[in-house]
Structure 1
């Protein structure tokens, strides 16, 4: 006869054996053979379409990326879904654009119970303070509610800024997942080469436009980094702000039309994520072409899968080709 203690120990042993038999898919806690390990991917949440694309390029198959903002959705209009809240709560790393673009993020993180690492991809990027102020300042610590004093958040429109952003993302991924640090570094290096090639290609194409015709009017003030990098002149925007919720007054509309006429602007560029109605009205009054529809620029957001702006690299190539064709007066 077994004693009660022996029966208890035997039962416990059976439980352990059963758990071991059923738990083969779990990562061993102390395995000396890396081939036996089944590490799960790093769980990443990225706010904007752009930083999600950067995170996928840096992370490769070592990460799963949950993207909060959908293609062609204005970042200012975002409201978290239940799936977003669950993903945030379970994430290891959350990547944001920064420069106050995601003014809803702190409250969302708090409500989701996120306790991982927040990565501000704008760290170490030189932030421009607006075309009217004409100077740059460095960006320091994360986050306040967005206003114009924080500067222009559209930092991705200069590929050299993106190199800084992906370096920050790589560093954060390596800190959260040291075993895959070499893979993250290799992925970032490969992507850097593509960014350098993109930068050179854009510069070559813009230089093919006569200097007197390198003048831009856009839906809103989203392309300052691009214009600064490739030496185009910003004449004005339909929305007089970094924030798409602002509107022109009747006098500002009249002034913009006069400016377009006096400077000889060749075209007004609408954006895929914004309605072109006001741009088209101003274009008619000023007597210039409005680039819209499938040729519209990608400003605040990447496009959907299969579109000309489905990835960052595709977006900037599309924008450049559209701008160059319009300014040169050639068909797309």
Structure 2
């Protein structure tokens, strides 16, 4: 009879995990919906639009965290001292009412909760999902980076001008501007591929983790160098086509590639090329002997209780 009462009392008391998840849903559900709606409808600010890779990355992070639940439960409860400052900072940022600070409070709060519930082992266990969330959290980072990519804008403009001249078009290049048949085209930071570079590097991080490519420093380094190269070449081609369409008066083609689904199709093709790049690296570069893993096999997602593959992420 006593055991029955204790069971009933335990049943009536909501589990700590369910309580925490419920509070997170109440506090951050509207914020996450604002991100998703803004990314899908492009109603969010242009700087925050740079983080639209979160449409794939955040669900993948949640999937990884869910797969680690058994390993999480096996960890002993412990409180790390750093959790209290992080939780306090997250509360302060959320209470500020400023969108960017509220955004940053989410990864800080989750990091603090990991340290508060399971200590350092819990944070190590959830490190990669937290990294994916942090890199998908909208901030003003693109605005801070834009002044430093002026050389890239100038390089893309100059290269596009040379390519268009090969087709007999009248092209004049001035810094980041192309005058094609008297029509002026600007290679702006957004058009220079900064957003696509963000997305490509983010998806490259996921692919390197998922395929086990991150077990080799050499393969990982070549992969990310290749990502940067693909992004630059892809955006040179895209800006060349845009300048050609604009200079030749093909307004509908220009709008299709610049703002319509043609741009999305082009971006999808660039992301698809990352898989081709991974296969090429796996075929050409042998795995390190001390970190040997089947080069052609896909790393299975957490069939061992949620432990991530050993690597550099």
* TM-score (ref. length: structure 1): 0.26
Q: Which has the larger radius of gyration?
A: 1
Looking at secondary structure, tell me which structure has more strand per residue.
Answer: 1
Looking at secondary structure, tell me which structure has more helix per residue.
Answer: 2
Choose between structure 1 and 2 for higher RCO, CA contacts under 8 A separated by at least 6 residues.
2
